[in-house]
Structure 1
């Protein structure tokens, strides 16, 4: 029985990368693999027999004393605790392969050499751009930023790239500088899985060797999604309410096009978006957090779903879920979105952050016949079944592990 060690900061469904971490392990278990997990203690974690190996909780939103802040910063840069505990887990579990997801800040890259020195093949899924960009988004308050590609890492501090904070930006700059010097990622990771070709190309632009990467797209199990191809009357956004998601641009466009918009989700700019909605006096409804059947019903009832991102999205699960439910997507032409949202086939694309272009596009879509919109929803569903299936994902992962000597 092959043994898989899955590694991630959180051991509960906090966000998309955490869901992939948990579901990937579940898929391997169904194929006969034995699973172990390495993560951080957290009150919301799922129960695990491996939790005794987890590192102490490190939550950046909490209040810390001055000394605790120093210790926290040191763990972000290099966690000796994480290195020691994962070494114990390796000794006891003896994994055949380790699959890393999001590990930085809470676990730190210190765990990677520990795995490699123990002879464990190391795979990492790049859910974001961290292995190139110290602040992991290639984004700051001024917009898209790639200054570190050919310049000094001090640009991160100068531009306060992480949370608009000089201190937080300085910590990740030191972290990245140290691990660049140690060559932690490139030397000790065998393969990096990228869910979008855009991310692969971007990493190569930033100096990574192309042969380090393998493109394996995310998946949805379409059999678990009951589609409705009827073209509804409203536009839907669901996701995090954060600046880089472009929700303000979407709201302005919906107002200009006189289109009813429903917004599902919460986040740091929720209050200011509600103020903007009042100022626009638009037909915009905030529905808060929704999941499961409630969310699926809202998607099925829409005419289209919009993803108006203003940063380098990877391969958003929201697109695949909308497609599986029979809805076309109106996506910003940025990051990996155009790889899934194919103009006039599975949806429509527009220039990111251009509310005027988006408003014109919305007007055109609402002027189309219901049959025309429904046909795109059917094509979207077919694309998911054909190119983003669970079986294709499993087959690609098994092939990757086999190439690393795991049978």
Structure 2
């Protein structure tokens, strides 16, 4: 089998890219022929070292562009990406190939839909985000700092400014979404969908084609089995992640103050300055490398994960549990699926500092913290999310998608690619 992986970035800049790159390398090591198609470099060296053929457009994303106006055109319709992907797919044998789309919204744009549709190859999408359903990709209202109440692309949705940068950007998102849905062919390729949690499927299923087929495959967790934690005194309550409103760091700081404990933050983001000013008692450790983060998680009393949006599968939650750290998690994000309330952590009501403070208060008990640490470690390693198990599950999906395609290959009219 030949696997063509499609993603915005050819280097690891977040969870989506890491899963796409680790998966590509894993399948190459298993003997598959793997192509990696991406817009933004540099190329992760380990990709080519693993034997993956990389097609890099060497384009910009919104963070690296030298011209927002020029990038805006690319963001709406990346004609170069459509043409390059079509050229690559033209070399593929339809009986032996599957295309796996991990991400397109940051740089590739909806234009890749034309290439996918016209190639007539079996396609599967992994839904790391919600861009196939929601214009801003997250069912999240940045102005109100909470989940959005509107049906995506309804009149209420279109009229409401949920964008973090202003209503003009929201209208651009609406226009791009309409282009994706009705003019690119991309939405039509989204019949086979890998979701990474039950919550994610529940959130996005109403917006997908009626004949869509869902497969739940959790992302692999890159963590070493270090054994149960020792008998030392449990450490601090710690937040790990981007310091931005949708991650809920302010609720943690408020709850820690109510519970009489010190809040510790690992990460950077736009909320840091305001948090430091409002909560001088908190500790801010800044950015840390993945190895340093794992070392910190190994020593915490609990990870606090107060996210206020529908995160599909927060990897930090699973890493913490694997390292023997209980997790206090918001009841609105998919991290709750890894936490049995009262056993290896606690759920709390989303955006409710009092509810979070109550959970923190319970884990101030050293004996309870140690019992939950043991449970966190034991439950995770009884069914670990390893890369090899992830590859097995994805390979099984590929076979199902290819079998379905052989029974009813696409015969739809071609989509005219825009220049």
Contact 1:41 1:51 in 2 (8 A): no
1:30 maps to: 29
- Is 2:146 the counterpart of 1:147? no
Task: Give the distance between the partners of 2:129 and 2:361, measured in 1 at CA.
Answer: 33
Deviation by residue 1:211-260 (Cα, 9 ceiling, x = unmatched): 42111112325545555254513111111111011101100111111112
Deviation by residue 1:344-367 (Cα, 9 ceiling, x = unmatched): 12210100110011112211211x
Q: Which stretch shows the higher mean deviation, 115-124 or 328-337?
A: 115-124
Counterpart of 1:290 in 2: which secondary structure? coil
Counterpart of 2:264 in 1: which secondary structure? strand
Contact 1:126 1:192 in 2 (8 A): yes
2:250 maps to: 248
What are the ranges of 5 or more consecutive residues in structure 1 without an aligned counterpart? none
Counterpart of 1:40 in 2: which secondary structure? strand
Contact 1:220 1:384 in 2 (8 A): no
Change (3 A) 1:165 1:63: farther
1:57 maps to: 60
2:398 maps to: 401
Summarize the alignment of residues 311-390 of structure 1 with structure 2, pairs less than 5 Å apart: 311-366=309-364, 368-370=365-367, 372-390=368-386
Point out 4+ residue stretches in structure 1 off by more than 6 angstroms: none
Task: Give the distance between the partners of 1:396 and 1:305, measured in 2 at CA.
Answer: 29
Counterpart of 1:310 in 2: which secondary structure? coil
Counterpart of 2:90 in 1: which secondary structure? helix
Contact 1:299 1:327 in 2 (8 A): yes
Change (3 A) 1:385 1:295: same
> How far did 1:52 drift?
5.3
Change (3 A) 1:347 1:290: same
Summarize the alignment of residues 203-214 of structure 1 with structure 2, pairs less than 5 Å apart: 203-206=204-207, 208-209=209-210, 211-214=212-215
Q: Which stretch shows the higher mean deviation, 222-231 or 198-207?
A: 222-231
Matched positions, count: 393
Higher relative contact order (CA 8 A, sep 6+): 2
2:163 maps to: 162
Task: Give the distance between the partners of 1:210 and 1:321, measured in 2 at CA.
Answer: 35
Task: Give the distance between the partners of 2:172 and 2:338, measured in 1 at CA.
Answer: 36
Q: Which stretch shows the higher mean deviation, 108-117 or 87-96?
A: 87-96
> How far did 1:293 drift?
3.0
CA RMSD of aligned residues (A): 2.4
1:21 maps to: 20
- TM-score normalised by L of structure 2: 0.86
> How far did 1:385 drift?
2.6
> How far did 1:375 drift?
2.5
- Is 2:197 the counterpart of 1:199? no
> How far did 1:62 drift?
4.3
- TM-score normalised by L of structure 1: 0.89
Summarize the alignment of residues 166-181 of structure 1 with structure 2, pairs less than 5 Å apart: 166-181=167-182
Counterpart of 1:209 in 2: which secondary structure? coil
Task: Give the distance between the partners of 2:181 and 2:303, measured in 1 at CA.
Answer: 40
Contact 2:98 2:402 in 1 (8 A): no
Contact 2:10 2:43 in 1 (8 A): yes
Change (3 A) 1:31 1:225: farther
